[in-house]
Amino acid sequence: MTEPKIGDVWRYPYLWKREALEGEDAGRKPRPTALAAVVPVSQKSTRLYLLPITGTKPFADQNALEIPATEIRRAGLTEYKRLWIIIDEYNRDELEMSFYFEPQAGIGSFSKAFVKVMAGRFAEAIRAGKIHEVKRTE
């Protein structure tokens, strides 16, 4: 299995906040997601923080980061013309216990420069308390 790292793009059945609030517990379809953080908690536990990537233009009140065309190509998402990373919500999963994270679902990765921007925006949203977590493993 390829070890996931920050900036990787993986297909993942992302569970949107609105779906979780309606009582759903599984994402409706696999979609591209960006790994915003990969945090080793112990020798047997690694937390994954996944941000959804969408081709739907975000609402004005959403915290989103448009992905430049060069990064779309770099990440292996060339079937899309425009994409955004939604920053104001994320799925938290545990690599070793996940029912959802598929080890062979890696697509590509973003450049270090773009990852720095994405991670900065993610950290900023966490500090501001303007982010919603959907836990996938308990």
Q: Along the 138 residues of the chain, how does pLDDT read in single tens digits?
A: 578 999 999 999 999 999 999 999 889 999 999 999 999 999 999 999 999 999 999 999 999 999 999 999 999 999 889 999 999 999 999 999 999 999 899 999 999 999 999 999 999 999 999 999 999 976
CB atoms within 10 A of CB 32: 27
Rounded Cα distance, 122 and 16, in Å: 17
| Residues 109 and 8: beta-carbon distance below 8 Å | yes
Q: What is the pLDDT of residue 62?
A: 95
Q: Say whether 4 sits in a helix, a strand or coil.
A: coil
| Residues 27 and 19: beta-carbon distance below 8 Å | yes
Rounded Cα distance, 60 and 122, in Å: 18
Q: What is the pLDDT of residue 13?
A: 97
* 3 secondary structure, DSSP code: P
Q: Say whether 84 sits in a helix, a strand or coil.
A: strand
